[in-house]
Amino acid sequence: MGPEAERWQVVREIVESALELSTDRRIAYVAEATVGDAELAAEVNSLLESAEATATWIDRSPIGKVQPFTQELAPGRRLAQYEITDKLGAGGMGVVYLAKDERLDRLAALKVLTSLGETEEERRRFAREARAASALNHPNIITIYEYGCADEIDFIAMEYIRGVTLAQLLKQHPPPLAELLEIARQTAKALASAHAAGIVHRDLKPANIMIADGGLVKVLDFGIAKLARQSGDSSTEHNLLMGTPTYMAPEVAQGETADARADIFALGVILYEMAAKRRPFQGKDAMATLTKIVNEDPPRVDSINPAATRQLADLIAKCLAKKPEARLPSMTELAEKLEDILAPAATQSRRWLLAGASALAAGGLTLGISRWTTGPALRYELEAQKEPGQLPYRAAVTDTFRAGWKFRLRLYAAQPGFFYVLTETANDVAVIYPLSGEAAQPAGATVTGWYVFDQTPGMERVWVIWSEKPRELIAKPGRADQTRDAGIRNLLTRLPAGMAGELLQLRHV
């Protein structure tokens, strides 16, 4: 490793460690870490000032000498077909601008590299990685439009996303754990797609996960991503300098090559942070943090947060295994396990009612689920949305909902059939799904529309039914008349063969 690269490693470690401290502690830490080296202190403080303003920054370790980028791109400046309209943020190695693509008449986020002294090898390597990221096509991965160079300035053009990063979300007002786990699930889906294409992210962290205004999760900054099967890019020098220490896998911290299992470890760290509301490995500086990652096991999250289930704690512990081969074998499996946690299987229900038992006996049900079945297993996923434009989250029947919130159901059965959803009160029964009242084709899964909790506090009793053949009695949407009401209540009390059902009781205030 050359002296310039060694110098950059020192700068990087100080900056990364300082960013994890509060402002008052940060000042003292930087003063201590740079004592006797005014030039080092100035460089670190300059990077810290700009790094606060952005969610993510181009994270590349230089081989040659790094020259600071001092020329700000003013509104109206053009790079190729992109006209700069505003500055979105700045980081240690990059500045991000909002730009208009004059050729395609669309907005784009333009990330301008601030390293003007990179070697030709560095530029070729970055271009190769940018092309690899642009080849990914997944709704949860930021779309890279192009990598270009204009006026001797390297830039990456990507889709412009309006939203907040997971880092901002965790720092400001963390949402319920179920909502955070849904963010993690979408992140795992994105990375599973990247891994299937042979691309490892290598710098996954909350600042590189964005939640768009519409609720969709986007994984950002594949700027140091690596083609897993690519040769000629596995030197210890590169591996040591890449990634953020807090989320770095043990093998990467020890200079080994990062593969997909390093991303699994990083997402495990993020899951731990979501569930425990603190990081699993935190040292006084970057090297102390890496030492903990390599040598120490954090407390289980269910010992810190009672809301974290044993299933979730086991999953996180598996992701954080020191040996790569002891972790989950794939990001796809991690996404599937998160889906299981967010939507418990039928066998995890609180109470079973056999066919023929009364499901409507007064006082016979408490908050939660009751199930009766004479057909194949029926499974559901409950999704809720607090405000328009917010991210829907996988809810539990034990949650407390508020007036104006929405919910919908995803329904699954072991064999194709017909799905129905009804609401029931002491005064009436209403069919809310299907909406059309027309005969439907048998299906193994379906999703309902959104329903809104009204302004009257209480318990919503929602019946979910599967039938192997159409049931005219419950096919017509809307409130049932007196005769039909009695027939439906009788049906709910005693299911005939070839049907399965559940009663969900949802409390709202």
268-320 confidence digits (pLDDT tens) = 999 999 999 999 998 888 888 899 999 999 999 999 998 889 999 999 999 99
* CA angle 118–141–14, rounded 5-degree value: 45
Instruction: State the virtual CA torsion across 307, 311, 314, 318 in degrees, nearest 10.
Output: -120
Asked if 365 and 502 touch (Cβ cutoff 8 Å), the reply is no
Sequence-ordered alpha helix ranges (H) in 139-285: 166-171, 177-196, 236-241, 250-253, 260-276
The span from the CA of 449 to the CA of 416, in Å, is 20
Low-confidence ranges of the chain (pLDDT < 50): 1-2, 50-70, 92, 116-117, 227-241, 344-375
Residues 6+ apart with CB under 8 A from 357: 372
Residue 338 β-bridge partners: none
Which residue type occupies 476?
Answer: K
Exposure of 324 in the CB half-sphere (CA atoms within 13 A): 17
Give pLDDT, residue 205: 93
Which residue type occupies 188?
Answer: A
H or E segment and range at residue 341? helix 331-342
Could you tell me the two tokens for 23? Answer: 């402002």
**Is 428 a residue of the active site?**
no
- Burial environment of residue 28 by CB neighbours within 10 A (0 to 12, 13 to 18, 19 or more): exposed
Residue located via tokens 């990507």: 158
Residues 6+ apart with CB under 8 A from 270: 166, 184, 187, 204, 205, 206, 209, 247
Catalytic residue among 203, 221, 263, 285: 203
Residue located via tokens 């829907």: 392
Sheet containing strand 94-101, edge to edge, reads 78-79, 82-90, 94-101, 106-113, 153-159, 144-150
Respond yes or no on whether the N-terminal peptide bond of residue 434 is cis (omega within 30° of 0): yes
Kindly give the pairing relationship between strand 226-227 and strand 209-212: unpaired
The span from the CA of 261 to the CA of 264, in Å, is 5
Give pLDDT, residue 434: 87
Give pLDDT, residue 4: 53
Where on the phi/psi map is residue 458: left (φ > 0), alpha (ψ -120 to 50), or beta?
left
The span from the CA of 4 to the CA of 44, in Å, is 15
Give pLDDT, residue 438: 56
Instruction: State the virtual CA torsion across 123, 124, 129, 135 in degrees, nearest 10.
Output: 120
CA 356 to chain centre: 43
The span from the CA of 429 to the CA of 440, in Å, is 21
User: Concatenated DSSP letters for 11-52?
Assistant: HHHHHHHHHTS-HHHHHHHHHHHTTT-HHHHHHHHHHHHHHT
Give pLDDT, residue 119: 56
Give pLDDT, residue 32: 84
Phi/psi of residue 348, nearest 5 degrees: -95, 5
In order of their start, the domains of the chain are 1-52 (no CATH), 53-160 (3.30.200.20), 164-342 (1.10.510.10), 346-508 (no CATH)
The span from the CA of 449 to the CA of 435, in Å, is 9
Asked if 178 and 395 touch (Cβ cutoff 8 Å), the reply is yes
Asked if 10 and 40 touch (Cβ cutoff 8 Å), the reply is yes
Residue 348: CB atoms within 10 Å = 10
